[in-house]
């Protein structure tokens, strides 16, 4: 127990350190000795909302990935690879086309898109013999490809300026962070983590198998629907606010399990902290690597996550 507490404190310290570093550095330096209105605007209106949005998105995606991996008993289950993020991205794009600048509509459409993509992948991956890694990954590739094609068709009708903005957003873009955005994402991450943590024991039993879990009293259908629903909501809110930030739900839960084991009562909360730290650091790199220009944060997370995906697929 003491060892787990120590690891929890280490991750909390890492998160606090990453938040501090991300707030203090950027393409524009802030002078605390000669405080000005420009410094205040950069710090409170631009940088802090962006950093907190990144933390919320990282926590939401990591928790979603951890829950899906436990539910599906598959180490490769992750919102980005399963097409759930693309479903949310398509929903967000449709909301923008239909409702324009009405931001409240975007998370709703993103959630619907994420749910439909999740159901499609799950139904395609199931068979009489159960579910295996190859079938699940192939189903995710098919759904992702189909949704990507629809997204490309929609972007083809945009003018040059909007096309560049949409493309950057699809790769993961936190530059448009707002107070409303990070409040919504942070609230969703906290509530979603709490809801999935309540189901941690059931997820532990489901990792053994659905039949065995049912024999131990787990309401498999209810837990499955709840995990799918909460995961879709977390992904939908995250994508609507910051685009498709890939591989967070894959790399972070695996690193956490290497630290604390497979008990979801430890994995879920620590994945939230680890995911927040990971995305904040990735976005900091994206902001300063080629300053004053920026890189998409999704490109940084993919650069780190893709090699791990190849390693897991080989195993």
Structure tokens at 45: 């209106």
DSSP per-residue string spanning 159-172: -HHHHHHHHHHHT-
pLDDT digits (tens, 9 = 90+) for 62-72: 999 999 999 88
Radius of gyration of the chain (CA): 19
pLDDT category at 158 given cuts 50, 70, 90 is confident
**What structural domains and CATH numbers belong to the chain?**
49-314 (1.10.3470.10)
Neighbours of 149 (CB within 10 A): 10
Model confidence band, residue 52 (pLDDT cutoffs 50, 70, 90): very high
> Is 168 or 134 the better-scoring residue by pLDDT?
168
Q: 107-121, 161-175, 227-241: lowest mean pLDDT where? A: 161-175
Q: For 207-227, how does the pLDDT look when each residue is reduced to its tens digit (9 = 90+)?
A: 888 888 888 888 988 998 899
Give me the pLDDT at residue 133, please: 61
Q: What is the DSSP string of 243-279?
A: ----SHHHHHHHHHHHHH-S-HHHHHHHHHHHHHHHH
Cis geometry, peptide bond prior to residue 157 (ω within 30 degrees of 0): no
pLDDT category at 268 given cuts 50, 70, 90 is: very high
**111 near 231, Cβ under 8 Å?**
no
Q: pLDDT-derived band of residue 35, with 50, 70 and 90 as boundaries?
A: confident
């Amino acid at each position: 127990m003491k060892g787990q507490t120590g690891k929890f404190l280490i991750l909390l310290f890492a998160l606090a350190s990453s938040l501090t570093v991300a707030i203090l550095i950027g393409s524009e330096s802030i002078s605390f000795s000669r405080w000005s209105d420009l410094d205040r605007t950069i710090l409170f209106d631009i940088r802090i909302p962006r950093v907190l949005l990144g933390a919320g998105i990282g926590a939401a995606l990591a928790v979603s990935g951890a829950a899906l991996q436990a539910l599906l008993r598959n180490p490769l289950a992750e919102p980005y690879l399963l097409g759930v993020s693309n479903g949310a991205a398509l929903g967000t794009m449709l909301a923008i086309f239909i409702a324009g600048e009405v931001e409240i509509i975007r998370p709703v459409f993103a959630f619907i898109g994420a749910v439909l993509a999740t159901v499609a992948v799950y139904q395609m991956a199931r068979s009489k013999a159960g579910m295996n890694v190859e079938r699940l990954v192939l189903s995710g590739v098919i759904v992702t490809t189909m949704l990507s094609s629809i997204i490309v068709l929609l972007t083809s009708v945009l003018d040059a300026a909007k096309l560049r903005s949409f493309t950057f957003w699809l790769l993961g873009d936190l530059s448009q962070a707002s107070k409303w955005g990070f409040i919504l994402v942070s609230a969703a991450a906290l509530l979603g983590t709490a809801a999935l943590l309540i189901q941690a024991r059931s997820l532990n039993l489901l990792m053994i198998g659905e039949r065995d879990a049912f024999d131990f009293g787990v309401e498999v259908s209810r837990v499955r629907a709840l995990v799918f629903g909460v995961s879709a909501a977390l992904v939908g809110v995250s994508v609507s606010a910051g685009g498709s930030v890939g591989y967070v739900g894959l790399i972070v839960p695996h690193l956490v399990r290497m630290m604390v084991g497979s008990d979801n009562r430890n994995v879920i909360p620590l994945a939230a902290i680890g995911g927040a730290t990971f995305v904040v650091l990735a976005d900091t790199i994206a902001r300063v690597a080629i300053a004053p220009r920026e890189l998409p944060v999704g490109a940084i997370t993919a650069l780190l996550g893709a090699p791990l995906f190849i390693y897991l697929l080989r195993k």
